[in-house]
Amino acid sequence: MSQSATLYRLSNNSFEEFKRTVDTQKVDLKKLSRSYETFQGTFMGIEFVLSKNQISETRELILEIFTPKQFIEDRDLENIDETEDFEGFSEDILYLNPDKVIAINNIISMISEENFAANFDPIELNTNYIYPSVWNKNNSLNSVFTLTHILEDFRNLKLFFSNASKDRDYVIAFVG
Protein backbone atom coordinates (compact mmCIF):
# COMPACT_ATOMS: atom_id res chain seq x y z
CA MET A 1 0.00 0.00 0.00
CA SER A 2 1.35 3.42 -0.89
CA GLN A 3 1.66 6.37 1.40
CA SER A 4 -1.39 8.62 1.51
CA ALA A 5 -2.59 11.94 2.88
CA THR A 6 -6.15 12.51 4.03
CA LEU A 7 -7.67 15.95 4.54
CA TYR A 8 -10.85 16.46 6.60
CA ARG A 9 -13.08 19.56 6.53
CA LEU A 10 -14.57 20.51 9.90
CA SER A 11 -16.88 23.38 10.74
CA ASN A 12 -15.86 25.58 13.65
CA ASN A 13 -18.29 23.74 15.96
CA SER A 14 -17.11 20.31 14.82
CA PHE A 15 -13.48 21.35 15.22
CA GLU A 16 -14.13 22.50 18.79
CA GLU A 17 -16.00 19.25 19.51
CA PHE A 18 -13.11 17.27 18.04
CA LYS A 19 -10.60 19.08 20.27
CA ARG A 20 -12.73 18.47 23.37
CA THR A 21 -13.55 14.82 22.77
CA VAL A 22 -10.56 13.30 21.02
CA ASP A 23 -8.88 12.37 24.32
CA THR A 24 -11.97 11.22 26.17
CA GLN A 25 -13.90 9.02 23.78
CA LYS A 26 -13.80 7.41 20.38
CA VAL A 27 -14.15 10.05 17.69
CA ASP A 28 -15.30 9.17 14.19
CA LEU A 29 -13.58 11.89 12.23
CA LYS A 30 -15.30 10.88 8.99
CA LYS A 31 -18.73 11.44 10.55
CA LEU A 32 -17.65 14.65 12.25
CA SER A 33 -16.26 16.16 9.05
CA ARG A 34 -18.24 17.82 6.27
CA SER A 35 -16.12 15.89 3.77
CA TYR A 36 -12.71 14.33 3.39
CA GLU A 37 -10.36 13.57 0.53
CA THR A 38 -7.56 10.99 0.39
CA PHE A 39 -4.57 11.41 -1.92
CA GLN A 40 -3.18 7.92 -2.37
CA GLY A 41 0.47 8.22 -3.32
CA THR A 42 0.16 11.56 -5.12
CA PHE A 43 0.31 14.18 -2.39
CA MET A 44 4.08 14.71 -2.52
CA GLY A 45 3.92 15.02 -6.29
CA ILE A 46 1.08 17.54 -6.06
CA GLU A 47 3.07 19.52 -3.51
CA PHE A 48 6.19 19.47 -5.71
CA VAL A 49 4.36 20.50 -8.89
CA LEU A 50 2.40 23.26 -7.14
CA SER A 51 5.59 24.61 -5.52
CA LYS A 52 7.50 24.98 -8.79
CA ASN A 53 8.23 28.54 -9.84
CA GLN A 54 6.57 30.01 -6.73
CA ILE A 55 7.92 32.72 -4.45
CA SER A 56 8.98 31.52 -1.00
CA GLU A 57 5.84 32.77 0.84
CA THR A 58 3.56 30.97 -1.61
CA ARG A 59 5.72 27.84 -1.50
CA GLU A 60 5.52 27.79 2.31
CA LEU A 61 1.70 27.89 2.20
CA ILE A 62 1.60 25.13 -0.41
CA LEU A 63 3.83 22.97 1.81
CA GLU A 64 1.30 23.38 4.62
CA ILE A 65 -1.51 21.75 2.62
CA PHE A 66 -0.51 18.26 3.77
CA THR A 67 1.76 19.17 6.71
CA PRO A 68 0.29 22.19 8.50
CA LYS A 69 2.34 24.00 11.13
CA GLN A 70 -0.51 24.33 13.65
CA PHE A 71 -1.30 21.35 15.81
CA ILE A 72 -3.48 20.16 18.62
CA GLU A 73 -1.07 18.97 21.30
CA ASP A 74 -1.06 15.83 23.40
CA ARG A 75 -3.81 13.92 21.67
CA ASP A 76 -4.22 10.18 21.91
CA LEU A 77 -4.65 8.93 18.36
CA GLU A 78 -5.77 5.51 19.55
CA ASN A 79 -9.14 7.02 20.45
CA ILE A 80 -9.84 8.09 16.88
CA ASP A 81 -11.94 5.66 14.87
CA GLU A 82 -9.75 5.80 11.77
CA THR A 83 -6.73 3.81 12.91
CA GLU A 84 -5.70 2.76 9.42
CA ASP A 85 -5.38 6.43 8.44
CA PHE A 86 -3.47 7.34 11.59
CA GLU A 87 -0.95 4.54 12.08
CA GLY A 88 2.60 5.71 12.61
CA PHE A 89 1.82 9.34 13.38
CA SER A 90 3.09 11.47 16.17
CA GLU A 91 0.52 12.43 18.74
CA ASP A 92 0.21 15.92 17.27
CA ILE A 93 -2.85 16.43 15.10
CA LEU A 94 -2.05 18.94 12.36
CA TYR A 95 -4.61 21.43 11.09
CA LEU A 96 -5.19 24.56 9.06
CA ASN A 97 -7.35 27.33 10.48
CA PRO A 98 -9.96 28.97 8.22
CA ASP A 99 -7.70 31.92 7.35
CA LYS A 100 -4.95 29.58 6.11
CA VAL A 101 -7.54 27.53 4.21
CA ILE A 102 -8.67 30.70 2.42
CA ALA A 103 -5.07 31.74 1.69
CA ILE A 104 -4.26 28.31 0.24
CA ASN A 105 -7.46 28.30 -1.78
CA ASN A 106 -6.55 31.71 -3.21
CA ILE A 107 -3.25 30.27 -4.43
CA ILE A 108 -4.40 26.97 -5.88
CA SER A 109 -7.58 28.40 -7.43
CA MET A 110 -5.34 30.57 -9.62
CA ILE A 111 -3.40 27.56 -10.97
CA SER A 112 -5.05 26.17 -14.08
CA GLU A 113 -4.98 22.51 -15.01
CA GLU A 114 -2.95 23.49 -18.07
CA ASN A 115 -0.35 25.26 -15.92
CA PHE A 116 -0.25 22.34 -13.49
CA ALA A 117 0.17 19.89 -16.39
CA ALA A 118 2.96 22.01 -17.88
CA ASN A 119 4.85 21.80 -14.58
CA PHE A 120 4.40 18.02 -14.30
CA ASP A 121 7.60 16.25 -15.35
CA PRO A 122 7.81 12.61 -14.27
CA ILE A 123 11.56 12.49 -14.87
CA GLU A 124 12.06 15.52 -12.62
CA LEU A 125 9.84 14.01 -9.91
CA ASN A 126 11.78 10.74 -9.98
CA THR A 127 15.18 12.51 -10.10
CA ASN A 128 14.20 14.49 -7.00
CA TYR A 129 13.01 11.30 -5.23
CA ILE A 130 9.46 12.58 -4.94
CA TYR A 131 7.48 9.70 -3.50
CA PRO A 132 6.73 7.17 -4.90
CA SER A 133 9.57 7.76 -7.42
CA VAL A 134 7.78 5.76 -10.13
CA TRP A 135 6.16 8.67 -11.96
CA ASN A 136 5.74 7.99 -15.65
CA LYS A 137 4.44 9.36 -18.95
CA ASN A 138 2.18 6.40 -19.72
CA ASN A 139 -1.37 7.79 -19.51
CA SER A 140 -3.29 4.59 -20.14
CA LEU A 141 -6.31 3.99 -17.93
CA ASN A 142 -4.51 1.20 -16.06
CA SER A 143 -1.44 3.30 -15.18
CA VAL A 144 -0.90 5.20 -11.96
CA PHE A 145 1.46 8.02 -11.04
CA THR A 146 0.86 9.67 -14.39
CA LEU A 147 -0.32 13.11 -15.47
CA THR A 148 -3.88 11.80 -15.72
CA HIS A 149 -3.71 10.40 -12.18
CA ILE A 150 -2.16 13.48 -10.55
CA LEU A 151 -4.48 15.87 -12.46
CA GLU A 152 -7.52 14.07 -11.09
CA ASP A 153 -6.18 14.49 -7.55
CA PHE A 154 -5.31 18.14 -8.27
CA ARG A 155 -8.94 18.73 -9.33
CA ASN A 156 -10.14 17.05 -6.12
CA LEU A 157 -7.76 19.20 -4.05
CA LYS A 158 -9.00 22.41 -5.69
CA LEU A 159 -12.63 21.49 -5.12
CA PHE A 160 -11.93 20.46 -1.52
CA PHE A 161 -10.22 23.78 -0.72
CA SER A 162 -12.81 25.80 -2.61
CA ASN A 163 -15.60 24.30 -0.50
CA ALA A 164 -13.61 24.56 2.73
CA SER A 165 -12.82 28.19 1.98
CA LYS A 166 -16.47 29.08 1.23
CA ASP A 167 -17.59 27.48 4.50
CA ARG A 168 -14.65 28.87 6.54
CA ASP A 169 -13.79 25.34 7.65
CA TYR A 170 -10.81 23.99 9.51
CA VAL A 171 -8.81 21.31 7.70
CA ILE A 172 -7.18 18.43 9.58
CA ALA A 173 -4.37 16.62 7.76
CA PHE A 174 -3.04 13.11 8.31
CA VAL A 175 -0.18 11.61 6.31
CA GLY A 176 0.92 8.02 6.56
CATH of the domain at 162: 3.40.1760.10
Return the pLDDT at 83: 47
The closest alpha carbon to 149, from 108, 116, 110, belongs to: 116
Which residues, at least 6 apart from 40, have a Cβ–Cβ distance to it below 8 Å? 2, 4
Domain total in the chain: 1
Structural domain boundaries enclosing 93? 4-175
Q: What pLDDT, in 10s, does the model give residues 82-136? A: 544 444 344 578 999 999 999 999 999 999 999 999 999 999 999 999 999 999 9
Residue type, position 127, single letter: T
Q: What pLDDT, in 10s, does the model give residues 31-67? A: 999 999 999 999 999 999 999 999 999 999 999 999 9
